Chains A and B, each alone.
Chain A
Amino acid sequence: MAAPNTLILATVDHLARFAPFDSMEREHLVWLAERLKLTYYAKGETVLGPDSGPVKTFYIIKQGVINGEQDVVRAQDDASWLELHEGECFPLGALLSKRSVASTYRAGHDTFCFELAAADFRELLKISDPFNDFCTRRIANLLEQSKQVLQAQYAKSSSDQQSMSSTLETLIRREPVTCAPETSLREVLETMHKLGIGSMVAVDENRKPVGIFTLHDVLNRVALAEVSLDVLFSTVMSPNPRTLPPHALAHDAALVMAKQGFRHILVEEDGQLKGLISEKDLFSLQRVGLRQISGAIRNAEELDTLIHSAKDIRQLAHNMLAQGVAAEQLTQIISTLNDLLTTRILELELRNDPAARDVEFCWLALGSEGRLEQTLNTDQDNGIIFATETNDDNEAIRAVLLPFARRVNLALAECGFPLCNGEVMASNPKWCLSLQEWKNTFANWIDRGDPMALLYSTIFFDFRPLYGADCLAFDLREWLRGAAKKNSRFLHQMAANALRNSPPSGSVWDFFTGKGNILDLKLNGITPFVDAARIFSLAVGGKQTNTLQRLREITGPLRIDPQDAEAWADAFLFIQLLRLQLHHDQCERGDPLTNKVDPDSFNNLDKRILKEAFRQARKLQTKLTVDYQL
């Protein structure tokens, strides 16, 4: 081809103002410019959509704005969730994985796009390293793409598009109606009636919220309590209402509502009331609401109700996957609801068991439940820790607690949490122990360090109080923090044990192309992160049980580069997300839930990210090797 003319050169100069073109060789930019077409899209015109089939074109915006929308229905509400400007490119994920796009791309203004044919895009990936790097190796970028794909995939079967990761700020619908706490109850009720509102917030002279009162409260606090309407509002309101900052996310509010059983959360900024979020705001479109489920669980009087709620929890998880709730929040929400469910079962069983009621005990969540990392496929791991006056009482107390624990274990099984194969359950006399017995057991494991002791440590050291006398569990945790840190031989043995299970390495990666190979997302994917985080956490005397929180907790004391810690967290979360997706699909098909998956079933994009995630797991293991000289 002849020397490039001024139009090509001007295009090169234009592109070179933006990433990744700014770091590309000029020669490659000329190559690119000579293959570009310039196309115009009028405002509102669709550039690309899920119906367009596998993507044939790579787009670079020359001028204008392109909005990515989740689906056509929402497009009318201006609900674009992705806004692309001059110099930005799309759709990378779909091009890399040779699929159709998951979202609709539409011109937000009159827009000119440079367009490159898919074949030329692939050629450019080959010849230009910076371009390739930009498109494929930036895991954050890819994760984003993958999440969009996942979201869109589930969106088809879900009615609710409201993102659980939107901030509360964006959900506030109107100025909240407020009054002074000294207002009379009569006046407040009249205002609520006149305005047709369900709640009233009391604020002080600085607009700081001091109390809240809802229609629901009228029944028990006013009508049934036969309170005079002339009393001050401050005597009937719920004081010190729970508030969240405007930048808190919808799922934060959801979590608080579910945990505490609130229907309203106040939004407060710099000590001033900003707005009110009701459960309706969060879940108005959702068939199965978080609070409905938690309410149903809280008020359940029999096991059948709870069995139904357990199913609802799975349905909710599905809806949330569709909303693009991140794996971290999703597993947290599942865990929170499962906690509530377990709590309710315990309460119901205790009602009929006065003897057990008299014992001071704490129900422990162990394993993944203890780490708050439950997916849809979690069998039971639990134990009991009880208080004693003297050691002589132990057997007598066990005699009371074991039958009770057995009933709880069976009830949980009916709710879809299978009995633990390894008998790691509170109904097993070995795991229904006094505080002192637990300390002895843990001390013995730490001292022995044999394979069985190491295995138990990985399950039991992630314990967390779920119901009852929390202080017993806290006492045990404090003790363990000191004991584990002191014994470097034990930590060394745990590290050696963890390294036996290594994630697929580069050469083993070939299984992705072979036939009949199976990848275990839990064993090969999740476990290396969980194990390493546990060891490092024990080593620094940490008190977290959740893997992500452990990773955050160790960053400072172990002088880990925060970027490394973040990459580990991202990788861990991505694999969790794949697991959730897998379990959900198995659920839908009515197949038994497993963590085993045919690697070929992943699309190219997910394979690429998985590869990067495994690389992060190996990095984490390398740190174990170095720190413990293995």
Chain B
Amino acid sequence: MNWLARLFGAKPELTPEQAERLAAWKALPAPDLNAPHAVSRYVVVDVETSGLNLVKDRLIAIGAVAVSGGSIHLADSMEIILQQNRVSTRDNILIHGIGGTAQSEGVPPVEALLTFLEYLGKSPLVAFHVAFDQTMIDRALKTFLGLKFRHSWADLAYIAPALYPELARSHRSLDQWMTRFGIGNYARHSALADALSTAELMLSLRERMDAKQVDHFKAMRDLDKAQRMVNWTG
């Protein structure tokens, strides 16, 4: 890849079959963000990366679990490890537990990302600290599929304190919120296990969401935005 190609963003190579799958995904209708939770499907996502540097580090795994009609459907979940041509550092491996062999034996990135898109459909995404997951996923999709991923996201890291202002100062991390709601985790720092815990947190917030009539995705996103304002100005 020469410097020009890098500058202008070279078109990645997709097989005709892969291009067709990507086109099929693009053609899916946009979701109704005003539909109530009871009839909506959201995908709660968590990623594992080679590090915490948003610019330099690479996407290693995606874990996702769907919340449909207010419940987590266990089978409607996925976990995919992206094949790496360069194994991440030893310290990093110790965090997410995806070893060198697993990393190099993962699914080829194009295939992995297409599988993720097909699983996702156009369902809105939910995460805890969206900025990180979003950046990683956006860049991987751009790099490998040439896709400008403009998707709706809601961030529980802002929604939770918005619903529980009394806890906003003391509760910052996912772990703190999990402790607050007694949520367990079968394998912390595995993408799918963290996605499940995040989804359980989302379910736990429902009582307050109901109370504040945050009963559809757009309302969740509005709450998310409002809380960001509070954080900036407050």
> Which residues of A are at the interface with B, using a C-beta cutoff of 8 A?
1, 5-8, 10-11, 13-14, 33-40, 42, 45, 63-64, 109-110, 112, 114-115
Which residue of A5, A11, A14, A37 is within 8 Å of B71 (Cβ)?
A37
The answer to whether A37 and B192 touch (CB under 8 A), given A5-B79, A42-B207, A63-B184, is no
**Interface contact A37-B187, CB-CB below 8 Å:** no
The smallest C-beta distance from A347 to any residue of chain B, in angstroms, reads 65
Shortest beta-carbon distance from A361 to chain B in Å? 72
Per-residue A-contact encoding for B195-218, CB less than 8 Å = 1, 0 else: 010011001101100000000000
The complex places the Cα of A36 from the Cα of B207 at a distance, in Å, of 22
Contact partners of B192 in chain A: CB under 8 A: 5-7
CA distance A11 to B190 in the complex (A): 15
Q: How far is the CA of A504 from the CA of B61 in the complex (A)?
A: 63
Given known contacts A10-B186, A10-B187, A110-B204, A38 and B72 CB-to-CB distance under 8 angstroms: yes
B206 touches A7 (CB 8 A): no
Do the beta carbons of B203 and A33 come within 8 Å of each other? no
* C-alpha spacing A524/B78, complex, angstroms: 58
A6 touches B74 (CB 8 A): no
Known contacts A10-B186, A110-B204, A112-B200; is A36 also within 8 Å of B70 by CB? no
Given known contacts A39-B203, A42-B206, A110-B181, is B71 in contact with A6 (CB within 8 Å)? no
**With A38-B200, A112-B203 already in contact, 18 other A-B pairs whose C-beta atoms are closer than 8 Å:** A1-B75, A5-B78, A5-B192, A6-B193, A7-B65, A7-B74, A7-B79, A7-B186, A8-B74, A11-B74, A33-B74, A36-B73, A36-B75, A40-B200, A42-B207, A63-B182, A63-B184, A64-B182
Contacts of B74 in A (CB 8 A): 7-8, 11, 33-34, 36-38, 114
CB distance from B125 to the nearest CB of A (A): 18
B49 contacts chain A at the CB level, 8 A cutoff = no
Residues of B within 8 Å of A, CB-based: how many?
A: 25
Q: How far is the CA of A34 from the CA of B75 in the complex (A)?
A: 5
CB A124 to nearest CB in B, in angstroms, measures 15
Of listed B65, B71, B204, residue having the most chain A CB within 10 A: B71
The binding surface of chain B is classed by DSSP as mixed
Q: Specify the chain A residue showing the minimal Cβ separation from B202.
A: A40
Cβ-closest chain B residue relative to A36: B74
Neighbouring A residues of B204 by C-beta, 8 Å = 40, 42, 110
Q: Who on chain B is nearest to A34 by CB?
A: B75
Given A42-B206, A63-B182, A63-B184: A8 and B75 interface contact (C-beta under 8 Å): yes
Q: Which parts of B155-197 form the interface with A (CB within 8 Å)? A: 181-182, 184, 186-187, 190, 192-193, 196
CA distance A109 to B181 in the complex (A): 10
Q: Are A7 and B181 in contact (CB under 8 A)?
A: no
Asked if A40 contacts B75 (CB within 8 A), the reply is no
- Tell me, yes or no, whether B77 is within 8 Å of chain A by CB: yes
Could you say which residues of chain A place their CB within 8 Å of the CB of B196? Answer: 7
Bound-complex Cα distance A35 to B72 (A): 11
Most chain B CB inside 10 Å of its own CB: which residue of A33, A37, A39 = A37
Residue pair A38, B190 in contact (C-beta under 8 Å): no
For the complex, what is the distance from the CA of A151 to the CA of B200, rounded to whole Å?
Answer: 36
Closest B residue to A115 by CB, please name it. B71
Binary flags per residue of B57-78, CB closer than 8 Å to A gives 1, else 0: 0000000010000111111011
Indicate if the CB atoms of B184 and A35 lie closer than 8 Å.
no
- Of A1, A63, A110, most B-chain CB atoms within 10 Å: A110
Complex CA–CA separation, A455 to B71 (angstroms): 65
In whole angstroms, how far apart are the Cα atoms of A54 and B123 in the complex? 32
Whether B207 contacts A7 by the Cβ 8 Å rule is no
Closest to A64 in B: B182
Task: List 9 A-B pairs, minimum CB-CB distance, nearest first.
Answer: A40-B203, A10-B186, A38-B72, A42-B207, A37-B71, A34-B75, A39-B71, A7-B77, A36-B74
Q: Which residue of B lies closest to A38 (CB)?
A: B72
The residue in chain A whose Cβ has the minimal distance to the Cβ of B72 is: A38
In whole Å, how far is B198's beta carbon from the nearest beta carbon of chain A? 12
Q: Nearest CB to that of A6 among chain B residues?
A: B192
The B73-88 residues at the A interface (CB cut-off 8 A) are: 73-75, 77-79
Contact B71 A10 (CB under 8 A): no
Query: Which of chain B's residues have a CB closer than 8 A to the CB of A8?
Result: 74-75, 77
B74, B75, B182, B207, most chain A CB atoms within 10 A: B74
**Separation of A109 and B204 alpha carbons in the complex (Å):** 12
- Residues of A close to B199: CB separation below 8 A: 38
Question: Could you show 9 A-B contacts with beta carbons less than 8 Å apart?
Answer: A5-B78, A5-B192, A6-B186, A14-B186, A33-B74, A40-B204, A42-B206, A63-B182, A112-B200
State in angstroms the CA–CA spacing of A464 and B154 once bound together.
78
Smallest Cβ distance from A101 to chain B, in angstroms?
20
- For A33, list chain B residues within 8 Å (CB): 74-75
The interface residues of chain A lying within 8 Å CB-to-CB of B75 are 1, 8, 33-36
How far apart are the CA atoms of A35 and B70 in the complex, in Å? Answer: 16
Q: Choose from A34, A37, A45 the contact partner of B72 (Cβ within 8 Å).
A: A37
Q: Which residues of B sit under 8 angstroms from A7, Cβ to Cβ?
A: 65, 74, 77, 79, 186, 192-193, 196
Q: Which of B73, B186, B206 contacts A37 (CB 8 A)?
A: B73
In the bound assembly, the distance between CA atoms of A127 and B79 in angstroms comes to 29
- Considering the complex, give the chain B residue whose CB is closest to the CB of A44: B207
Task: Provide the residues of chain B in CB contact with A10, threshold 8 Å.
Answer: 186-187, 193
Contact flag A6-B200 (CB < 8 Å), given A33-B74, A38-B71, A38-B74: no
| A36 CA / B73 CA spacing, docked (Å) | 6
Chain A nearest CB from B72 CB (Å) reads: 4
In the complex, which residue of chain A has the Cβ closest to the Cβ of B67? A38
Given contact pairs A5-B79, A34-B74, A38-B71, A110 touches B187 in the complex (Cβ within 8 A)? no
Q: Bound complex: CA of A36 vs CA of B192, how far in Å?
A: 16
